[in-house]
Amino acid sequence: MSQANQLVGHRSELLARVALTRRLNIDVFNMDMGGEMGIDLLCSIRDPTLPGFLSFGVLVWGTSHPLDTSEALAKHVRGRTKKLDKRTRYFIPVIVLLFSMHNDREFYAWFVEPCEDSTHLADVADLDFKPFDSKQLDRVTRRITNWYKRLDADIRPETAEINSSQFPADEQDD
C-alpha cells in the first residue's frame, strides 16, 4: 500500500471517529483485524431506555478523488463493492462511511440494515450512499436503537422466568 493510500485510510478513520462522536452517546472501538472481518470500527450506542451494548459495525472507505457528482460517487462505490467478501455474514447492523479528502465530504450507506418493523437484518445489495451529517447520524442511531428494543422484547419477554431445567447441562470432555 502506498504512503498516499495509507494517509487516506488513516485520515478516513479519524474522520469517521469525529463524525460518529458528534453524538456523545456513541463509543467507538477500533477493530484492527487486518481486513479479515471487513469491519473497521465497532460502535456502541448508550441509551438510557435500554442499557446494554447496542453495537453496530462500520466499514470506513476513503478516497483522494473528488466525489462531487453522483456519477463519480457511483463509479467509486462500484469499484469498492467488487472487492467486498460476499461470504462474510454480519449479525449486527453495519454502515459504510465514505470520505472524500476533497472538502472532507462524508457519505453513508447501510450495508446490513435493520428492518423497520421486525428483528430481521437485511443485507443490502446496492449501496445507496447519501450525505452524512448530524441528522443522518441521529436517524441511524434511532433506527439501530429501535431495532435493539424490538430484539430485546423478542428474546427477553417480560413474563419469562429462567428455569434451569430448560437448558441442557454442559457436556464435559473426559
Task: Enter the C-alpha cell of residue 171.
Answer: 457436556
Whether 38 is in a domain gets the answer: yes
Half-sphere exposure in the Cβ direction for 114 (13 Å, CA): 24
CATH number for 81: 3.40.1350.10
Check residue 147 and give its pLDDT: 97
Strand blocks (E) in the chain: 26-30, 41-45, 54-63, 94-100, 105-114, 121-123, 130-131
Instruction: Say what the pTM is.
Output: 0.85
Range of the domain at 58: 3-156
Whether the CB-CB separation of 106 and 131 falls below 8 Å is answered with: yes
Domain count along the chain = 1
More confident residue, 160 or 86: 86
